[in-house]
Chains A and B, each alone.
Chain A
Amino acid sequence: MINENDPSTLTTSGRLLNYNAAIKAGLETGITFTKLMDQLIKTTNPDELVAAATELADFKLDSDFVTFPHQYSNADYYLLFMSRMLELHDQGNQVMVQSRDQHEELIQQLTPLGDRGTFNFRVETSENGGVFYRERATGQSLFYLNLDRKMFRFNSHALTQLFIIDLHETVPVETVKTSVQILIDFARYLKEDYGYSVDFNILDAANSENYPVHSADLPAGVVDRLFVAAAKNDYMLTNGVNGNGARIALDKGVVVDIFNNQLEGQPEWVLTVHDDDQKTSWFDVLLNYPFIRDWYLENLTDLEIVSDPLIFG
């Protein structure tokens, strides 16, 4: 390995110095890592927390000369970050992070949901980067998080599959609501405190939220089915205010509209949910009204609310 052009490799001492420097650098990396870990685990300053998480997210602990046999995966730092973020907002007890006995791996449970769901992050290997927050048993990725790009995207498909379908029979509606609220709060802190771009998707309770449905050119029969189902449940689907869709007034001032948002050109059918307090999302409607849930699920191929196609395409 003697390189005639590199003087340091020519002498023994040169080589040793080189080796020593590499070890030092490796150890330095280790020290930096432990500092970041301290920061992630102990800091009470949210800015420092985000900074530590962002660095740890793609931290490479091993070098050619120094490797560490016991390591958590990068994805685990996200779990720590999430629970610390909640802790700094006095919601630390809403998630439980557990360390596995056999090896260095963390899993998380949402306290209200208990063992009905265990969660972790999965690192996205493409150059997009970021991580998916995933329920481990079903593999449903509920949201995507990218600290570098300050992006947060909820996934309507996974939220529906897990909470509206899989857990529907066995977990009470209120439990689902409080569990999902934890995820909403986490996203909200990132949005409000750090200016993250957050797509709350079907969890967005703002009146201004248009939920685009999968079939932008929605077949008329789909709305007809809601009309018939609503009548059987003593609700009336009326003509929409703007004449190009339908409206249904539910309880407590909650109004759902389904309409073509484009008066000209390519149709774009969307759903909206309005209520005075802006506390009700499409997800809440699905939880609260069995006939709407049935209708949504029976027509899911047409109606599924679109998630960010760049992430969940």
Chain B
Amino acid sequence: MENQEQQTSAANVLTQAIATKLDYLSTLQAAVQRGDDRQVYELLDRARYYQEIKQTRAKRSVNHLEELVDNIHPQISHYLSDRLIDYLGHIYPFFYYEEYTTGRFHIYFGNWWDRRLFGELDVVNVQFNFDQTEFDKLRRSFELEAHHQRLNTAKIEAISSESEKLQKLMDAQPVRDNEKTKLREQLKENSQKSGMPWESGKIKDERQGIIDQLTKLADEDEQALNAHKTIKANDDQILVLSKEDTILNYEKQSIREAFDDFEHFQARNQSLYADYLNSLVGKSSSEGGVNVDD
């Protein structure tokens, strides 16, 4: 008897637990059917929702209901992306998204030639996961702007001046050839000198000096010989750097047009979840949703 009661009680508890899950899922289903994205977000992360939207202490979710839908996040993300990307389009007009696989989105910065892949859009958590390297480049180029510099200004200058040096080295070939002829004659004279024994050290030193100069000139000749190739390679490198500077400049312009400066841009990224969900309040069952009664 007691055993049976226990059994009934256990069944009740389980039924209740299942009912809670069913309730969670059917509420979520209804929200999707109504097109109530706000509620979908609420259901996906209640803790965050209460903290950031309701501004109340988060109710600790003990029953981990959110985990029920973990493995359909791609579909949820795919569903939620429509309205989110529409919203983002107004605030970040320079970002372009590509759903490279269901529910996952690459962010491209801009529509210019060879625009950068800038990270991923996390639709479920309403946040940008920027590529750290690319993002740092952008931040750095904002910092450098105060000094009227671009990210690659210094590098380009260094490479240009190397090319210039090499060009001079090439141009100076006739001068070097002259020099070498003279030095070789001096060397010949030197070897014919048969001075007094106490002069032999001096003659030897002189000879070494001439040889050193000739060696230096030969080194320069060799450099000049490869200079053409190096200059060409430098040009290619400068092109890559100028291109990057051009892209960064377009990015900076875009951010300034939309946010005035980099700080506002970042602040906006931080508050994106709250901003977006607040914008959804009172917009449930809007045109995008499928009505269950239909």
Residues 210-256 of A at the B interface (beta carbon under 8 Å): 221, 223-228, 231, 236-239, 246
| Distance, CA A238 to CA B112, complexed state (A) | 4
Closest to B246 in A: A231
Main secondary structure on A side of the interface with B: helix
Closest to A226 in B: B113
Q: Identify which of A221, A225, A227 contacts B112 (C-beta below 8 A).
A: A227
- Asked if B113 and A238 sit within 8 Å, CB to CB, the answer is yes
| Distance, CA A112 to CA B265, complexed state (A) | 57
B8 near A: Cβ within 8 Å? Answer: no
Closest to A232 in B: B246
Task: Tell me whether A223 and B236 are in contact in the complex, defined as CB-CB below 8 angstroms, given that A228-B246, A231-B249, A231-B250 are known contacts.
Answer: no
> B244 to chain A: closest CB distance in Å?
10
Task: Tell me whether A225 and B239 are in contact in the complex, defined as CB-CB below 8 angstroms, given that A237-B113, A239-B115, A246-B113 are known contacts.
Answer: yes
Closest to A240 in B: B113
- Size category of the binding interface on chain A: 10 to 19
- Size category of the binding interface on chain B: 10 to 19
- Asked if B239 and A239 sit within 8 Å, CB to CB, the answer is no
User: How many contacts between A and B, using CB within 8 angstroms?
Assistant: 35
> B99 to chain A: closest CB distance in Å?
15
Residues 208-245 of B at the A interface (beta carbon under 8 Å): 236, 239-240, 242-243
B111 near A: Cβ within 8 Å? Answer: yes
| Distance, CA A224 to CA B114, complexed state (A) | 8
Q: Interface centre among B113, B115, B240, by most A CB within 10 Å?
A: B113
- Asked if B236 and A221 sit within 8 Å, CB to CB, the answer is yes
Residues 234-282 of B at the A interface (beta carbon under 8 Å): 236, 239-240, 242-243, 246, 249-250
- Asked if A236 and B239 sit within 8 Å, CB to CB, the answer is no
> B142 to chain A: closest CB distance in Å?
18
Closest to A221 in B: B239
- Asked if B236 and A227 sit within 8 Å, CB to CB, the answer is no
- Asked if B243 and A224 sit within 8 Å, CB to CB, the answer is yes
Which residues of the other chain, A, contact B239 by a CB distance below 8 angstroms?
Answer: 221, 224-225, 228
Task: Tell me whether A236 and B112 are in contact in the complex, defined as CB-CB below 8 angstroms, given that A224-B239, A231-B246 are known contacts.
Answer: yes
Binary contact track A123-155/B, C-beta < 8 Å → 1, others 0: 000000000000000000000000000000000
> A250 to chain B: closest CB distance in Å?
15
| Distance, CA A262 to CA B115, complexed state (A) | 22
- Asked if B114 and A227 sit within 8 Å, CB to CB, the answer is yes
| Distance, CA A237 to CA B243, complexed state (A) | 11
> B235 to chain A: closest CB distance in Å?
9
- Asked if B111 and A239 sit within 8 Å, CB to CB, the answer is yes
Which residues of the other chain, B, contact A228 by a CB distance below 8 angstroms?
Answer: 239, 242-243, 246
| Distance, CA A236 to CA B114, complexed state (A) | 12
| Distance, CA A226 to CA B239, complexed state (A) | 10
Task: Tell me whether A227 and B111 are in contact in the complex, defined as CB-CB below 8 angstroms, given that A221-B236, A221-B239 are known contacts.
Answer: no
> B151 to chain A: closest CB distance in Å?
14
Closest to A222 in B: B239
| Distance, CA A237 to CA B112, complexed state (A) | 6
> A232 to chain B: closest CB distance in Å?
8
Which residues of the other chain, B, contact A221 by a CB distance below 8 angstroms?
Answer: 236, 239
Which residues of the other chain, A, contact B249 by a CB distance below 8 angstroms?
Answer: 231
Which residues of the other chain, B, contact A227 by a CB distance below 8 angstroms?
Answer: 112-114, 243, 246
Which residues of the other chain, A, contact B113 by a CB distance below 8 angstroms?
Answer: 223-224, 226-227, 237-239, 246
Q: Interface centre among A226, A231, A237, A238, by most B CB within 10 Å?
A: A231
| Distance, CA A246 to CA B113, complexed state (A) | 6
| Distance, CA A19 to CA B210, complexed state (A) | 91
| Distance, CA A78 to CA B243, complexed state (A) | 51
Closest to B236 in A: A221
> B252 to chain A: closest CB distance in Å?
12
Closest to A247 in B: B113
| Distance, CA A223 to CA B243, complexed state (A) | 11
> A145 to chain B: closest CB distance in Å?
40
Q: Identify which of B236, B242, B250 contacts A236 (C-beta below 8 A).
A: B250
| Distance, CA A227 to CA B239, complexed state (A) | 10
Q: Interface centre among A221, A226, A239, by most B CB within 10 Å?
A: A239
Residues 79-116 of B at the A interface (beta carbon under 8 Å): 111-115
Query: Measuring CB to CB, which residues of chain B are less than 8 angstroms from any residue of chain A?
Result: 111-115, 236, 239-240, 242-243, 246, 249-250
7 contacts between A and B (CB under 8 A): A223-B113, A224-B243, A227-B246, A228-B242, A231-B249, A237-B113, A238-B112
Contacts beyond the supplied A227-B114, A227-B243: 19 A-B pairs with Cβ under 8 Å: A221-B236, A221-B239, A224-B114, A224-B239, A224-B240, A224-B243, A225-B239, A226-B113, A227-B112, A228-B242, A228-B243, A231-B249, A231-B250, A238-B112, A238-B113, A239-B111, A239-B112, A239-B113, A239-B115
Closest 10 CB pairs of A and B: A237-B113, A227-B113, A231-B246, A228-B242, A246-B113, A224-B243, A238-B111, A228-B246, A238-B112, A236-B112
